[in-house]
Chain A
Amino acid sequence: MAEFRMPSLGADMEAGKLVEWLVKPGDRVKRGDIVAVVETQKGAIEIEIFETGRIEQILVGLNTEVPVGTPLARIQTELEATAGTAAAAPPPSAPAVPIAAPPSMPAPVAPSPPPPSPPAPPPPPVAPAAARARVSPAARRLAGLHAIDLATVTGSGPAGAIVYADVERRLGAPVAQAEKKRAPGLDLDAMRTAIAAAMARSKREIPHYYLEHQVDVTASEQWLARINAARPPDGRLLIGALMIRSVALAARRFPTFNGFYRDGKFEPSRAVHVGVAIAIRGGGLAAPALHDADQVPLDELMARMRDLVQRTRSGRIRSSEISDPTITVTSLGERGVETLYGIIYPPQVAIAGFGRVVTRPWVVDGAIGPRSVVSITLSADHRVSDGHAGALFLAEIGRLLQEPDKL
């Protein structure tokens, strides 16, 4: 018997509120399935399961806030099912670390010890049919605010998803303008608190050093223009995809910038999961991971980046995406500043920053001409690396951007 627990979605998370079950007792699940939605300071997060088997019992009902590590459901794993031992097996005593967590997930700094499993709680009421409908976080918030049962709302969104306007219609009255102006589904004040806590910890604990490197990206721009000219809009690439890809490849070559600093030592990561800092309308920020960004072809990376940005902005990030980036890329590229220095998101050890691409007089082959130039920065953890390695890392990113056709 395995327990599915409230995961830790970053060092700063203490508790989460379970707002949606996508499974019910008896359902079969496999590793990676999304089984629940949890509301955190970072917004609604889709929680994936890391076991394969059958849901035995749901332990936490809807709209319940529980600390990280609390068992949410019991799962009869495949192994047990074949051995025929599962049904009667008692739940194991609660370990201090969430066992349902992926191995590479950052551990909480000081996890509050999970409460003992409730003694044989009655199965909480779940309404699987209603819970199965896709509901936008904004719609859920609004419904919660007015105690509307989502089962009574007809969805008009994609695949029948319930969107904000549907709940509004069900309410029969326009809602207050103030509520409407909020970014969808996200409590931006709570998010600001979470960002502040993580960044304060970063500045307190991580001895940052900062480097900047100016790179001519004319070749990348010309290559993109050529490629995109022959493609319909949904197949086009953005320079951001090239930037992420080049950081991912450089991180694979320089593992000292890719991994976690935990318990007083650096744990490099073999996998390269690039966190992408995504601005949320209205003033929030999240940096979910593009998994294995060094492995997937550029077109797929771009498609996944589009999907990730869209889901992040609509408040549908998955738990693995928020918990396992190994290095982060941040960019304020399009308006505004030419150079930015990121703050490392603990327990990561590096963040690469891209400024705006600007046209500059630049010397190429002994002659001055207009070129597209971007500033790439590195903020890195001095406990793990130093400026010499950082300079090589930045130079590698710049070199990769000179040969976009090889990315």
Chain B
Amino acid sequence: MNDSDIRKVIKEELNNIAPEVDLAAIDPAADLREALDIDSMDFLNFVTAIHHRLGVDIPELDYPKLITLDGAAAYLAAHLGPARK
């Protein structure tokens, strides 16, 4: 998966959580919790969905690395492993 594939997956899952938000207009460096008004339940659902789709387990300690679009894309790219790239 390349960066744009990963971002597509991230945006699809965020769209399931916050369907009314225009994700194209979100600053990729902005804190998603504030930009999308998502709470810890939403974030857990997001992490769960990513886990199911990409097989990447995201420990709680790593949550802070995923709170921006850029951060989440970089984290997933690093953890998908060479086989999946």
Q: Which residues of A contact B (CB under 8 A)?
A: 164, 180-184, 225, 228-229, 232-234, 236, 238-240, 279, 281-282, 305-306, 309-310, 333-335
Contact = CB atoms under 8 A, between A and B. Distances in A.
Given A238-B40, A238-B41, 10 more contacts: A180-B20, A184-B20, A225-B61, A228-B60, A229-B61, A232-B57, A240-B40, A306-B41, A334-B39, A334-B40
Interface in B40-84: 40-41, 44-45, 47-48, 51-52, 57-61
Interface string B17-42: 01110000000000001100101110
Contacts of A184: 19-20
Taking each of B37, B45, B59, which has the highest tally of chain A beta carbons within 10 Å of its own beta carbon? Answer: B59
Contacts of B44: 233, 236, 238, 306
Contacts of A310: 45
Nearest to A227: B60
Contact of B51 (A164, A228, A233, A281): A233
A233 B41 contact: no
Contacts of A333: 40
Interface residues of B, number: 20
A228 B61 CA distance: 10
B48 A234 contact: yes
Interface of B: 18-20, 33-34, 37, 39-41, 44-45, 47-48, 51-52, 57-61
Contacts of B45: 306, 310
Contacts, number: 49
B41 A309 contact: yes
Given A181-B20, A229-B59, A335 B34 contact: yes
A239 to B, nearest CB: 8
Contacts of A232: 51, 57
Nearest to B37: A281
Contacts of B33: 334-335
22 contacts: A181-B20, A225-B60, A225-B61, A228-B60, A233-B44, A233-B48, A233-B51, A233-B57, A236-B60, A238-B40, A238-B41, A238-B44, A239-B40, A279-B39, A281-B20, A281-B37, A306-B44, A306-B45, A310-B45, A334-B33, A334-B40, A335-B33
Nearest to A282: B20
Taking each of A182, A228, A279, A281, which has the highest tally of chain B beta carbons within 10 Å of its own beta carbon? Answer: A281
Contacts of B19: 164, 184
A101 to B, nearest CB: 30
A20 B39 CA distance: 32
Contacts of B41: 238, 240, 305-306, 309
A232 B18 CA distance: 23
A239 B40 CA distance: 9
B14 to A, nearest CB: 13
Given A183-B20, A281-B18, A234 B51 contact: yes
Nearest to B47: A233
Contacts of A282: 20
Contacts of B59: 229
A24 B36 CA distance: 42
Nearest to A306: B41
A335 B39 CA distance: 8
Given A181-B20, A182-B20, A183-B20, A229 B60 contact: yes
Contacts of B61: 225, 229
A342 to B, nearest CB: 17
A154 to B, nearest CB: 20
Closest 3 CB pairs of A and B: A233-B48, A233-B47, A233-B51
A218 to B, nearest CB: 16
